[in-house]
Amino acid sequence: MSRNQGMDRRQMLKLAGFSAAGLGLTAAGCGSGGGSNGPVTIRHAWWGADDRAKKVQECVALFEKKHPKIKVKTDFQQYPDFWKKFNTQAAGGNPPDVIQNAVTFLRKYEAKNVLLDLNPQAKKGNLELEGFRAGLEKFAEIDGKLLGVPVGSNSMALVIDEKVFEKAGVDHGLGWTWDDWYAGLQKIKSGQGIAGDSGPHGVMYLYDLILRQNGKAFFTEEGMGFGENELLPYWTEALARVKSGVYADQKKVEQIKPASALAKGLSAGEFTWDNFSVRYSAEGKSSYSLAPIPTTDGKKTGQYLGSLMLSGTARTKHPAEVATFISFMTHDPAVARIMGYDRGVPATTAQFEAFQPTDAPSKAIGAYETEIAKAGVLEPITPHPAGADVVEAAFLRIGGDMSLGKASPEDSVKQFFSEAKTALASN
Amino acid sequence: MERSGPGRKTRPAPQPRGHRENLTGYLFMSPWIAGFLFLIAGPMVFSLYLAFTDYNLFDAPKWVGLKNFTDMFADPRWRQSVKVTSWYVVIGTPVKLAAALAVAMLLAQKRWGQSFYRAAFYAPSLIGASVSAAIVWRALFSDDAVVDRGQQLFGIDAGGWIGDPQMIIYALVALTVWQFGAPMVIFLAGLKQVPRELYEAAEVDGAGPWRRFWSITLPMISPVLFFNVLLETIHSFQIFASAYIVSNGSCGPADATLVYTCYLYDQGFANSRMGFASAMAWLLLVAVGLVTAVLFWSQKRWVHYEEGGR
């Protein structure tokens, strides 16, 4: 304030006039350019951990350099926490503009009009839809609306501790059967003294494959694609295998979470998404590779390409910028060089060719996906009804509780179907 | 309150306040009143309404009457959450208070380094509410961690407590007992108020330490004890963060740490059943209210107030 002491009233007024004129000029400048020309900020939320955060941040920096008028604010959580936060934000009418998404959630949020239809943006040229690898371009199309764009593809696989499998002399090749697999587990248990598998009975995506090998599926358009008669023998058998030590000690599996049982040496194998082997290699001491999904008839694996995708949200004020960002993340070769196989094998050919893996786990993933594509075993994904996310969580939890001896397989199966019914009805 | 205090009796009777003065008062209170109305009362009324609806966060709430409540009683996981919480309140609260009182009695005695010990014992409850303490707890009680190795020294090879549905709840009780600082400080204040003469007289009459504890200490500090029991019981009913974090967000294994609020949170935010969660919240409020009422009713039998004050 003391600085103004030397100024008289007239000078002050003059100064005020100047700044008012200045303000008027800037306002005019804004007005003539139209709303979309000013700097725009969009929010991007995703799930994952710190290493993914660094990579995403690097991509965003690159994007902002290429599109100086768009700023991207990012936010991330662990997978379950991510959805809890997103539910709340979306219900409050303030969801992030761009989210990482998965097939389990598509119908749920489509039914609630949360997701942005990207088709109009593609028509306007803000979103490039050419150049996706086979089977991926229509991945998130529901009822004619394009609700997401895949960033990478992944498939279920058996991630194995290569050293243990080798020492035990277990052969694993495309077309091997469940009997072959189980004989291998017993060989590992008796010869190497560790469990052959972490316990696959709570993994919804694996059970889906088993059902599909038998002409069914976990979900149909309407709801559940299987009944108590199918699940009961599967879980009864699983409990026996946990007790006999062929599957890992579930108490120990529980306490090392969120680390994986395989990486911590509690088991020699685990059914999961193929891109997880990158993470396991960082976590564990052994060397990990991928084995194909066992089959019933030696041919049909039931596999399909799953995918992480990017979706816009319907409430966004900047659909064009959202589409531009998604297009950049899915097509720009530089993004692939930064992200690697972190979110699966890149979905577009441009990105697939831009990243040549040099580390063993990434190489194995590339080889695995090429192999299953060549074998012609891939099928289209079955749609997941709204509420599928809650069903998946219930399957994992109740299967886990049962294997800890909390409830009998009969009660567990009943409890699962009762919870699944509630989830599908209320979502 | 102030006017009835000692030494205030000579104060002249207050002048009747003017309308203006009242207005000023309300004006100064308005931020609090607004906050109360919009952040507490409003949401509470809305949540009471939601308790009778089916509300998935996105579609408009559908009135379902008492369905949420009947669903609740039929739900085995809800019953499990009631069981776990009741067990935790009934076991955890007395053990915590006993620990707090025992340490307070040790610290009430004059000895060298007294203030250091007081600070040291109080410290855990300062960091207690934080997430980090729960994370450390998870690490301590995991397989092959400190506690497991300690057990092995005694030839007990049971593995960690975190993955064991039978044991994990004890880890939670241990965590709450460890954070006894707040009731301890209150006990300490209560113990300081007990007149020395009573102990001296009892000693002359030949009363041993136990006798003095039962006949003098406990009755004399019973108002403080009552206060602590009340506060800690209500607090125990609301346990959330420690259960959520020690179990890695699963409230497991096998629902062993599925405390009431954990299930409420899961139903509301993960399963999008906000109506059900609201119904649960209101039932908890009623239950805590009932327990509080019972405690107040029972205090007539065991809490001794000095007549007429001092």
Q: How many helices (H) and strands (E) does chain B have?
A: 16, 2
Residue A337: the pLDDT is 94
Q: Assign residue B254 a region: left if phi > 0, alpha if psi is -120 to 50, beta otherwise? A: left
Residue A4: the pLDDT is 42
Contacts of A47 in chain B (CB under 8 A): none
Enumerate the β-bridge partners of residue A158: A271, A291
CA angle B52, B53, B59 (to 5 degrees): 165
> Does B203 contact A at CB distance below 8 Å?
no
Query: What pLDDT digit, counting tens, does each position of A193-202 carry?
Result: 999 999 999 9
Residue A199: the pLDDT is 94
Distances (CA, A) of A185 to A178, A188, A206, A344, A395: 10, 5, 17, 28, 24
Q: How far apart are CA B141 and CA B158, in angstroms?
A: 12
> Does A276 contact B at CB distance below 8 Å?
no
> Does A224 contact B at CB distance below 8 Å?
no
Residue B6: the pLDDT is 47
Nearest CA to A274 out of A305, A246, A253 is that of A305
CA angle A292, A185, A286 (to 5 degrees): 70
> Does B181 contact A at CB distance below 8 Å?
no
Contacts of B248 in chain A (CB under 8 A): 257-258
Please name the residue that has the structure tokens 């040229």.
A125
Q: Which of A83, A91, A426 is opposite residue B270, by nearest beta carbon?
A: A83
Mean pLDDT of B258-271: 93
pLDDT category of residue B14 using cuts at 50, 70 and 90:
low
Nearest CA to B75 out of A422, A241, A346, A240 is that of A422
Interface size A-B, in CB pairs within 8 Å, comes to: 79
Q: What do you get for the CA distance between the two ends of chain A, in Å? A: 60
Q: Which of B76, B164, B272 is opposite residue A251, by nearest beta carbon?
A: B164
More confident residue, A311 or B137: A311
Nearest CA to A310 out of A159, A134, A102 is that of A102
3-class secondary structure, A288: strand
Mean pLDDT lowest for which of A114-128, B14-28, B124-138? B124-138
Contacts of A256 in chain B (CB under 8 A): 142-143
Q: Which residue of A has its CA nearest to B251?
A: A397
Q: What token pair was written down for A176? A: 């091997």
Q: Which of B58, B163, B269 is opposite residue A84, by nearest beta carbon?
A: B269
Please name the residue that has the structure tokens 């088993």.
A210
Cα torsion B264, B266, B268, B273: sign: negative
Q: How far apart are CA B107 and CA B117, in angstroms?
A: 7
Mean pLDDT lowest for which of A47-56, A98-107, A118-127, B24-33? A47-56
Strand order in the sheet with A98-102: A70-77, A40-47, A98-102, A306-312, A149-154, A345-346
Mean pLDDT lowest for which of A87-101, A129-143, A327-341? A129-143
Q: Which of A78, A393, A426 is opposite residue B54, by nearest beta carbon?
A: A426
Mean pLDDT lowest for which of A179-188, A203-212, A246-255, A263-272? A246-255
Q: To the nearest whole number, what is the mean pLDDT of chain B? A: 87
* DSSP 8-state code for residue A294: P
Q: How far apart are CA A332 and CA B50, in angstroms?
A: 47
pLDDT over threshold 60, residue A20: no
> Does A425 contact B at CB distance below 8 Å?
no
The β-bridge relationship of strands A345-346 and B53-54 is unpaired
The answer to whether the CB atoms of A80 and B252 lie below 8 A apart is: no
Which residues fall within 8 angstroms of residue A392, CB to CB, at 6 or more apart?
Answer: A104, A204
Query: What pLDDT digit, counting tens, does each position of A230-257 carry?
Result: 999 999 999 999 999 999 999 888 888 7
pLDDT over threshold 50, residue A23: no
Q: Which of B56, B142, B270 is opposite residue A426, by nearest beta carbon?
A: B56
Mean pLDDT of A7-33: 43
Q: Which residue of A has its CA nearest to B255?
A: A401
Query: What pLDDT digit, counting tens, does each position of B38-93 carry?
Result: 999 999 999 999 999 999 888 889 999 999 999 999 999 999 999 999 999 999 99
The answer to whether the CB atoms of A415 and B76 lie below 8 A apart is: yes
Residues 236-275 of B with CB under 8 A from A: 248-250, 252-255, 269-273
Q: Assign residue B88 a region: left if phi > 0, alpha if psi is -120 to 50, beta otherwise? A: alpha
CB count within 10 Å of CB A71 equals 15
pLDDT over threshold 50, residue A18: no
pLDDT over threshold 60, residue A359: yes
CA angle A52, A55, A59 (to 5 degrees): 135
Q: Which residue of B has its CA nearest to A415?
A: B76
Torsion of CA A353, A355, A356, A358, to 10 degrees: -170
Nearest CA to A362 out of A337, A330, A379 is that of A337
Enumerate the β-bridge partners of residue A255: none
Whether A206 and A200 have beta carbons less than 8 Å apart is answered as yes
Kindly report the nearest CA distance between residue A125 and chain B, in angstroms: 32
**Beta strands of B22-139 (E only): which ranges?**
53-54, 62-63
Q: How far apart are CA B76 and CA B81, in angstroms?
A: 9
Mean pLDDT of B169-174: 92
pLDDT category of residue B12 using cuts at 50, 70 and 90:
low
CB count within 10 Å of CB A41 equals 11
Whether A256 and A183 have beta carbons less than 8 Å apart is answered as no
Q: Which of B58, B159, B270 is opposite residue A251, by nearest beta carbon?
A: B159
Nearest CA to A312 out of A137, A133, A121, A144 is that of A121
pLDDT over threshold 90, residue A70: yes
Torsion of CA B97, B103, B109, B112, to 10 degrees: -150
> Within 13 Å and on the Cβ side, how many CA atoms surround A71?
5
Q: How far apart are CA A398 and CA A406, in angstroms?
A: 9
3-class secondary structure, A102: strand
Q: What is the ipTM of this complex?
A: 0.75
CB count within 10 Å of CB B149 equals 10
CA angle A289, A294, A295 (to 5 degrees): 155
Query: What pLDDT digit, counting tens, does each position of A245-290 carry?
Result: 999 999 888 888 778 899 999 999 999 999 888 888 888 889 999 9
Nearest CA to B80 out of B90, B70, B72 is that of B72
pLDDT over threshold 70, residue A298: yes
Nearest CA to A361 out of A116, A161, A217, A122 is that of A161
Residue B310: the pLDDT is 43
| Helix, strand, coil content of chain A in percent (nearest 5) | 50, 15, 35
pLDDT over threshold 80, residue B244: yes
Contacts of B272 in chain A (CB under 8 A): 87, 390, 426-427
More confident residue, B235 or A381: B235
Residue B129: the pLDDT is 61
Estimate to the nearest angstrom the gap between the alpha carbon of B307 and the chain centroid: 29
In angstroms, what is the C-alpha Rg of chain A?
A: 26
Distances (CA, A) of A406 to A103, A194, A257: 31, 24, 19
3-class secondary structure, B29: helix
More confident residue, A193 or B126: A193
Contacts of B250 in chain A (CB under 8 A): 257, 397
Contacts of B252 in chain A (CB under 8 A): 254, 397, 400-401
Q: How far apart are CA B143 and CA B159, in angstroms?
A: 5
Residue B13: the pLDDT is 61
Q: Which of A254, A404, A406 is opposite residue B162, by nearest beta carbon?
A: A254
More confident residue, A51 or A240: A240
